[in-house]
Amino acid sequence: MASVHDISNKYVSDYVALDPIAATNLGFAGAEDQLTDFSPEGHAARDELAVRALADVAAATPASSSEEAARAVFLERTGLEHELYEAGHTESSLNVIASPIQSVRDIFDQMPTGTPDDWATIGRRLAAVPAALGGLRASLSHAASRGQVSALRQVTKVAAQCDVWASTFFTSFVASSGAEGALRSSLDAGAAAASSAYAEFASFLRTTLAPQAPEKDAVGEERYRLGSRYFTGSRLDLAEAYAWGWEEFLGIEAEMKQVAGRLKPGASLAETAAYLDEHPRYQVHGQDGLQAWMQELSDKALLDLRDVHFDLPDALMNLECRIAPPGGGVGAYYTPPTADFSRPGRMWWSIAEGKTVFPTWRETSTVYHEGVPGHHLQCATAVYQSETLNDFQRLLCWVSGHGEGWALYSERLMRELGYLDDDGDLLGMLDAHLFRAARVIVDIGMHLELEIPAGTGFHPGERWTPELGLEFMLTRTLQEPAAARDEIDRYLGWPGQAPAYKIGERLWLAAREDARARKGADFDLKRFHKDALEMGSMGLDTLRERLAAL
């Protein structure tokens, strides 16, 4: 019988053959001009593959502790993917942040553009966009026939995203090629086809899906618990998590007021934020200025932390910082390197339309979150472990609680290491943690329509609604209005994901202190980080068990 690692490796190779978008993201060659089949038949084929692999892994006998860990990770992750499919959530997936409609657009950001052959490949993939969106329409329609449609907010917001991509993205993208003659004609034809497909998809959403979409955003406890398990890898006590979120939020808010008092005595948090936003010391101008600033800060972190706090091989030392194309939500995100590191890890910044001045105090800790020691160190370290992790562990497995928890822990770590001693940058880091604590409260509260407790200074006794969620983000955090509105749309379309940041950070901190207490004078923080990251991504319950064994 095949080993756990062999089964997992074969699953990845079989999976990318069924998912060309994943193949490009992971660096597997052979399907660069194709797009994933998002039709009901395509989803069914990928689920059938998962079911076979689950049975094979369940029947396999682990030959080592490494395989025991790999088996636990595969069964938990792939098992949840199957549960989501069985519940109908895979076919009906549509939200403003991470669903197939974004995947089709986003994959073009990851394609090489250095040669005419690269652009010819892009042209063929552009021509495949109409069929991909046709398959997606079929799945959404099939799910709708069973009564499963995303809330009206998600349908209308995604339609607006499609409008942007239809009008600007594809034509601007091919214009940057510099191609001429037959190649340019092919690219223009592909861009026109893709733009038309997105315009037609926006029309489908508005005229066909929207009339069937529920107006209510809250998904309820049953759906929420499944989403929470998927994003955390843990069966959370939601009542305890909600109460803890409030405790964490109020504690951070109190510390922020102390820091603000040093920056601008007598001012409120909002007044202090406005003061910092206008301070020349904390400003960069223009998209080029923002890109240069984050690249410089990222490069400095890589060089400073290497060999001092983390072991960073040469392959991890390249992290590109880019401005994201328009149309998506506002904020930063990270994309991992390919399996062979031929495409490096990348930090992307998506900015609000028309914005030209960027306050760095708000975003210094975000660079550490997305880059080093955050997502880049974490994801690229796992990719680098080709001798100890199978392909599923190092390339395909991602758990928000593990990954986002580590990235939030990394912001706190950089404070501990002295990189956030400036009070402006510190206030930005604390607000980042405040709004992640707010995510725990608001996400659970809105979807379960919970009561707001007394003593919080915010509508006590009322039950959460999206309107109250937005008011809370605008008045009790320092998020800019555009970002706060995007946040609420994101939470409502991605139930259970937003709390994973703070829930995951909570576990990383507890595991570190547990290891410190167990080892005493022998505790080595650098070694703890190395051992933990080299295990790759996994659910929080599995992570808790593995870290306790270090």
pLDDT tens string 261-273: 999 999 999 999 9
Query: How confident is the model over 504-540, as pLDDT tens digits?
Result: 999 999 999 999 999 999 999 999 999 999 999 999 9
Query: How confident is the model over 29-42, as pLDDT tens digits?
Result: 989 999 999 999 99
Residue pair 306/376 in contact (Cβ under 8 Å)? The answer is no
- Joined tokens for residue 246: 């409030």
Residue 358: CB atoms within 10 Å: 20
Residue pair 348/332 in contact (Cβ under 8 Å)? The answer is yes
Cα 380 off chain centre by: 15
Strand-pairing partners, residue 306, are: 310
Q: What is the pLDDT of residue 326?
A: 79
Q: What is the pLDDT of residue 550?
A: 81
The torsion angles phi and psi of 332, rounded to 5 degrees, stand at -105, 150
DSSP, collapsed to helix, strand or coil, labels residue 358 as: strand
Closest CA to 396 of 412, 408, 411, 379: 379
Which amino acid is residue 224, in one-letter code?
Answer: Y
Range 82-90, long-range pairs (CB < 8 A, 24+ positions)? 82/47, 82/50, 82/51, 82/54, 83/226, 83/230, 84/226, 84/230, 85/43, 85/47, 85/50, 87/223, 87/226, 88/143, 88/146, 88/148, 89/148, 89/223, 89/226, 90/43, 90/47
Range 17-25, long-range pairs (CB < 8 A, 24+ positions)? 18/42, 18/45, 18/46, 18/49, 19/46, 21/103, 21/104, 21/107, 22/396, 24/107, 24/110, 24/111, 25/107, 25/110, 25/335, 25/336
Residue pair 271/264 in contact (Cβ under 8 Å)? The answer is yes
Q: What is the pLDDT of residue 533?
A: 96
- Taking 80 as the threshold, does the pLDDT of residue 339 lie above it? yes
Mean pLDDT of 386-413: 96
pLDDT band at 207 (very low <50, low <70, confident <90, very high): very high
- Taking 70 as the threshold, does the pLDDT of residue 447 lie above it? yes
Query: How confident is the model over 483-492, as pLDDT tens digits?
Result: 899 999 999 9
- Taking 80 as the threshold, does the pLDDT of residue 12 lie above it? yes
Exposed, middle or buried by CB within 10 Å (0-12, 13-18, 19+), for 194? buried
- Cα–Cα dist 86/98, whole Å: 19
pLDDT band at 329 (very low <50, low <70, confident <90, very high): low
Burial code of 386-418, b = ≥16 C-beta within 10 A, e = fewer? eeebbbbbbbbbebbbbbbbbbbbbbbbbbebe
Residue 396: C-alpha distances to residues 30, 194, 200 (Å): 18, 28, 32
- Cα–Cα dist 429/366, whole Å: 8
The proportion of the chain whose per-residue pLDDT surpasses 90, expressed as a percent, equals 95
Closest CA to 45 of 167, 178, 135, 151: 135
- Cα–Cα dist 444/505, whole Å: 17
Sign of CA dihedral 496, 498, 503, 505: positive
In the predicted model, what is the mean pLDDT of the chain?
Answer: 96
- Taking 70 as the threshold, does the pLDDT of residue 343 lie above it? yes
Global pTM exceeds 0.85: yes
Q: What is the pLDDT of residue 126?
A: 98
Mean pLDDT of 376-394: 96
What secondary structure letter does DSSP report for 451? B
